[in-house]
Chains A and B, each alone.
Chain A
Amino acid sequence: MVNPVTRRILGTALAAMVGSVGAVVIAAGPASAYCRTGMTKWNNTTYSKTLGVDPSFPTAMRTGLSNGLTQWNRSGSTLRYTTPDYTSGWMIYAFRGSHSYSPLMGNAPGYAQTMVSGSTHSGGNLILSNRFSWVNGSQNISGGVADVQTVAVHEVGHFTGLAHPWIGHCTDGTSYTPAEQASVMTTINTGTRRTLNSDDVAGVTAIY
């Protein structure tokens, strides 16, 4: 399989080359140009990934969390997330979720942390900050209101291996395409954004 970053560069180069001979003019970058700068991927897809969550996790947030995980399951990809397992035995899981807070998280409503081995990770912590008021609806981050699914799907995107796609963070040399701007991996001035777009789907199917 072609490395996604390599594929993206090749795609951009091809577009430029075709444009230069005048046969086809492609004004924008590739329609699906997800970014993977600095990211790792799951170390294997032998087993489905189950998020172990403490039973104290609020009931009203569980549907949004589950949707944020499972919509990354796409045909053409071997990666599978199951619905979370709410159990007092959550510590047996390497992939853990909680509704909690640490000052080490800073201002973020959601926080994904992975322990990296080479180009992969084998687990991680997903924390939805209990300093925010969580809703299943419109979010206002400055005002302290966050939408569960919007934040969860974005953070699970990081576990999946996708980076923030905008220039500055993404250093693969390509433009910030309209598809990337509409991706769940873009968070700035986006408001509520709950559902994968073509760019996100292209990313997960290319990685796994």
Chain B
Amino acid sequence: MIGHGFLRPGTIAVATLGLAAALIAGCGQNGGTPSAATAPTVVKAHPYKIESDLPNALAFFGNTNVFEGTVDSVLPNVHAVDVLDTGETIEAVYTPVTITIDTVYRGKLKAGSEVTIRSMGGEAGGISYVIHEAPAKETFQPGSRVVIFGGELVRVDSESAPAITPNFVYQQVGGEFVDATYADGPTNGDAPSAAAVAEVRAQLRALPSAPQRD
């Protein structure tokens, strides 16, 4: 979340005071929907959307952890707060999704273990966090089989346990893995990228052990 009210240079830090109040009010709260009398503050996020087809997902330099697994449980929404290294604070709401890992293609996670990913978007702690550039919530139904191309397993400042934000998500539908990275699809209503399960697994097994970058 960001400061309240537009301020000209030199104006006192009303924005900072507003942010502090919001942090005190909302930090770390889980689940629940605020009453109608206290409508949530709406925060809209607009990440620069990137290509999510399979070649780009496989090649993306930020895939620290790549694994295949089965959705185990979907937990109540979390209001997360992170302080950046420049001192700014950003807030978001996500749904924690626990996944039992079947196969690890990259990274230090272990098959058979459980990991939590962040399904971004939702409402908690007085914040309604709106984002379209994230998987649809229904992607993560218990029992769903998914491939997660994820970032680091880390804890942001308000979290008590680490989690992974997916860079790309592929969901098994029948005999294929289908791109489920974005709730509103890859672009222009085009059909999402899809490939046979065996073909995707072969490409995943061929991934280098560490991400490559230019």
Q: Which residues of A contact B (CB under 8 A)?
A: 38, 40, 42-44, 47, 49-50, 52, 54, 56, 85, 91-96, 98-117, 121-125, 127, 130-131, 133, 140-145, 151, 154-155, 158, 164, 166-169, 176, 187-189
Contact = CB atoms under 8 A, between A and B. Distances in A.
A144 B213 contact: yes
A144 B188 contact: no
Query: Nearest 8 pairs between A and B by C-beta?
Result: A108-B47, A143-B214, A144-B61, A144-B213, A107-B167, A167-B189, A94-B3, A166-B188
A111 B46 CA distance: 6
B44 A94 contact: no
Interface centre among B4, B9, B190 (most CB of A within 10 A): B9
What is the predominant secondary structure among interface residues of chain B facing chain A? Answer: loop
B46 A107 contact: no
A189 B80 CA distance: 32
A166 to B, nearest CB: 4
B59 A143 contact: yes
Contact of B4 (A92, A123, A164, A176): A123
A141 B6 contact: no
Interface in B16-68: 16, 41-51, 56, 59-62
Contacts of A189: 51, 187
Nearest to A107: B167
Contact of A98 (B59, B86, B165): B86
A131 B50 CA distance: 15
